[in-house]
Amino acid sequence: MSFLQYLINGISIGAVYAIIALGYTMVYGIAKMLNFAHGDVIMVGAYISFSATNYLGVPAVLSIFIAMAVCTILGIIIEGLAYKPLRGTSSLAVLITAIGVSYFLQNAAQLIWGATPKNFTSIVTSAPISLFGGQLTITGEVIITIVASAVIMLALHFFTTKTKIGKAMRAVSEDRDAAQLMGINVNRTISTTFAIGSALAAIAGVLLCSTVPTLQPTTGSMPGIRAFTAAVFGGIGSIPGAMLGGILLGVIETFSKAYLSSQFSDAIVFLVLIIVLLVKPAGLLGKQVQEKV
């Protein structure tokens, strides 16, 4: 029974990673850049939700939407000010700029909210469900997280395959020049991608802090790196890949903590990643691109 418990907890953590990884993977797919500031957008989202509920007395559910709105605007501003001028130049230059943005967000958050950790009150109020005579407990957070990630996944899938903007996004990530020739506004499409990714980051931030209630300026960086790993694991640029990668990463992490060694769980997770990449160099669901001479 403890196996099932670990599995459920693992999927729950993995679902949060998956939502963050979606942001990484979409931005990478379309703009071919590693957006290292994404983890910090999560942190900002969590702080906005925290401030809305604690200082303004907004109901928890509404605070998520406020956080999403703020993060969407933040994502568009970051993209327009810091990334857009560098489009088409070295990807390393954009990477360093992203790191600069990450430092900026962390330190701005520290100025505004202080360095001392805040105690994030969970947005879920329902009591945990007890099954099999108390052997298996599923908290409300776990259910909400899993449901939310499933809904987001489906919505994104629908969005990218059925709507006009979604199709434009796929076209731009396939071949930017050809898409531009077909009359797609590449800049606006990339901005939209950043907006969606940042809104997802806000949801991830609230869900993450509902499960792990300490909120501080560096809250986003470690889950950010984990989710980035998850995106690569599943094949960066692929939306189902990010979902699969995130959930697998969460499950592997929980299992290695439970059964193998808690102190080496980090090493085990990264070792699995390396092995997967050596066997499948483009990740689990990534496309293997043949290099042309």
Partner 1 sequence: MRIKNDRKTQLTNFLTYALVIVAFVILQYMSEGKMLTKSMQGYLIPICVYIVLAVSLNLVVGISGELSLGHAGFMGVGAFTGVIIAGIFRDTIDNEILRLALSMVCGGVLAGVAGFVVGIPVLRLRGDYLAIVTLAFGEILKNIFGNLYVGKDINGIQFAFSSEAIKLAEGGKMILKGPMGAAGIKKIATFPVAFVLILITLFVVLNLINSKEGRAIKAIRDNRIAAESVGINVTAFKLKAFVTSAFLAGMAGALFALNYSSVNASQFNFNTSINILVFVVLGGMGNILGSIISTTVLYLVPELLRELQDYRMIIYAIVLIVVMLVTWSPKVKQMIQVVQVRIKDLFKKKDKKGGSVNG
Nearer to partner 1, 95 or 165 (CB): 95
Nearer to partner 1, 147 or 271 (CB): 271
Please, which residues have CB within 8 angstroms of residue 224's CB and are 6 or more apart in sequence?
20, 36, 38, 39, 40, 42
Is there binding between residue 96 and partner 1 (CB under 8 A)? yes
Nearer to partner 1, 82 or 143 (CB): 82
CA distances 80 to 43, 73, 106, 129, Å, are: 20, 11, 19, 45
Is there binding between residue 77 and partner 1 (CB under 8 A)? no
Instruction: Identify which of 209, 279, 254 has the alpha carbon closest to the alpha carbon of residue 7.
Output: 254
Is there binding between residue 175 and partner 1 (CB under 8 A)? no
User: For residues 194 and 28, what is the distance between their CA atoms, to the nearest angstrom?
Assistant: 10
Is there binding between residue 291 and partner 1 (CB under 8 A)? yes
- Output the smallest distance, CB 277 to partner 1, in A: 6
CA distances 231 to 25, 71, 106, 183, Å, are: 6, 21, 23, 30
* Per-position x/- string for 204-223, each x denoting binding to partner 1 as judged by CB under 8 A, each - no binding: -----------------x--
Is there binding between residue 225 and partner 1 (CB under 8 A)? yes
- Output the smallest distance, CB 161 to partner 1, in A: 25
Q: Which of 229, 238, 254, 256 binds partner 1 (CB under 8 A)?
A: 229
